Amino acid sequence: MRELIVEADGGSRGNPGPAGYGAVVIDAATGRILARTAEYLGVTTNNVAEYRGLLAGLRAARALDASAAVHVRMDSKLVVEQMTGRWKIRHPDLKPLAAEAAALFPPGRVTYEWIPRERNRHADRLANEAMDAGQRGEQWVLPPGEGDGEPAGADAQDTAASPASPASPASPASPDAADERAVTAADERAVTAADERAAGAVAAASAAPAPASSSVPAPASASSATPAAGWAPADLGPPTAFVLLRHGETPLTPQKRFSGSGGSDPSLSEVGREQAERVAAALARRGTIQAVVTSPLARTRETAKIVADRLGLEVAVEDGLRETDFGAWEGLTFGEVRERHPDDLAAWLASPDAAPTGGGESFTATAARVAAARDRLLAAYPGRTVLLVTHVTPIKTLVRLALGAPPESLFRMELSAASLSVVAYYADGNASLRLLNDTSHLRLP
């Protein structure tokens, strides 16, 4: 089995402050650099930036060889200990990122090693380059003359001889020594046997394989990619675009009732079927959809069939795109839930880890499931434009993860029935939101 090495780093100048990450993928057999990636993240924390660097490195490794074994080396003790399950992940902003990382490769195929910062200079330099570029109002691009394929050791020598960035005298791409000592001590005190079991359960659940009911095709060959234009390097190929369609109205939609995957599974109303016809006509005019994938619930299947029939495409089913299970709240309005389950509702609004009354699904669990489905679909449809017919929470989650936004952003997005949103994903792990909640196709002529 081929072995790839991922070296990743991230940091912020302020914690929270202007942040960025860098990652490299190295061929373990030859020591040659196969891929580099970096990105300015805006304002966030050191730990979020470190996890984002890990994700970018793992995605780049997966794009190179999804069957490889991967050895991750980072100078973040926190990330290494949490990803191995030895430390519990307590911060809500880090849990979905860790779940995403765990889902990128099958269990047991990724190993982690902590290394001193001086051995992680390549990723550190890329992170600082990304932060410098962001503070200039630019996107990071691979500097001219730094093509992949050079020996990995060459960068360490260059970095050691180069001066620190003038934008940040210390150029910290990971927490300073005092901050790292404080984080390490706090987490070590928190480690118990129960914490280890909980951390292992989160990683195992997020890395679970696709359900047997999934009809998404197997990953396509990467050799079908064609060159792309734009900021991304030409060898990345075209992005994979997910056109996210919320299903049309059901009888519960205008009443604003909780309608997840654990309720009555309503079909479309007459209004909902008309909405589906309108979006089908709009997508047919654009002529860009190459595949249709739907949630298994009735309202999405019906919407997807109407659109796919108009486009002349088959419909694949992905179980990971189903709506959150709202437990005992299914079929109730927000006001009714507040009257009957006030404490549970307050906890749910305050934390993504809280589940609805009666064994429903938390937003943290939904995020792990949706992230795993996203990665399966990215592997199955590289470089293609795919219509995903799904629900409010999965769409908001995909948007949130693409933007690196916190879990509470789920409550700050509006998604209308039969609306369209678009997220593009690049081979180096970057993503961009291109459209959100477009309903122009529903307006009367």
Chain segment 277-325, per-residue pLDDT in tens = 999 999 998 888 999 999 999 999 999 999 999 999 999 999 999 999 9
| pLDDT for res 123 | 95
Burial level of 122, CB count in 10 A (0-12/13-18/19+)? buried
Q: What is the pLDDT of residue 168?
A: 32
* Contact of 361 with 348, CB cutoff 8 Å: no
pLDDT at 420 over 80: yes
Residues present in the chain in total:
445
What is the average per-residue pLDDT within 126-142? 86
pLDDT category of residue 338 using cuts at 50, 70 and 90: very high
Phi, psi at residue 42, to the nearest 5°?
80, -150
Q: pLDDT class for 356, splitting at 50, 70, 90?
A: very high
Helix (H) or strand (E) holding 232: none
Mean of the per-residue pLDDT values of the chain? 81
Q: How many helices (H) and strands (E) in the chain?
A: 13, 11
Of 156 and 396, more confident: 396
114 CB contacts (<8 Å, ≥6 apart)? 73, 74, 75, 76, 77, 80, 81
Residue 396 has pLDDT above 80, yes or no: yes
Q: Is 3 exposed, middle or buried (0-12, 13-18, 19+ CB in 10 A)?
A: middle
User: In the predicted model, is pLDDT for residue 349 greater than 50?
Assistant: yes
The mean pLDDT value for 327-348 works out to 93
> For residue 15, what pLDDT is reported?
78
Rounded-to-integer distance, Cα 94 and Cα 368, Å: 12
Contacts of 259 (CB under 8 A, 6+ apart): 250, 252, 253, 266, 323, 326, 330, 331
What is the band of 398 on the pLDDT scale with cuts at 50, 70, 90? very high
DSSP 3-38: EEEEEEEEEESSSSEEEEEEEEEEETTT-BEEEEEE
Radius of gyration over every alpha carbon of the chain, rounded to an integer in angstroms: 22
What is the residue type of 410? L
Q: What percent of the chain has pLDDT over 90?
A: 64
pLDDT band at 146 (very low <50, low <70, confident <90, very high): low
**Tell me: the pLDDT tens digits for 53-101?**
999 999 999 999 999 999 999 999 999 999 999 999 988 889 999 999 9
Q: Which of the residues are catalytic?
A: 247, 323
| Predicted pLDDT at 159 | 33
- Residue 163: its pLDDT value, please? 30
Please compute the mean of the pLDDT values over residues 357-380 and round it to a whole number.
Answer: 92
Sequential DSSP letters for 206-220: HTPPPPTT--PPPPP
- Looking at residue 93, what is its pLDDT? 85
Position 155 scores a pLDDT of 46
- Give the tokens for residue 270: 């007459």
pLDDT bin (cut points 50, 70, 90) of residue 413 is very high
Distances (CA, A) of 366 to 83, 346, 351, 395: 19, 19, 13, 11
| DSSP β-bridge partners for residue 292 | 315, 387
pTM: 0.52
Range with the largest mean pLDDT of 103-112, 180-189, 221-230: 103-112
User: How many Cβ atoms sit within 10 Å of the Cβ of residue 355?
Assistant: 22
Query: Does 445 have pLDDT greater than 70?
Result: no
3-state secondary structure of 424: strand
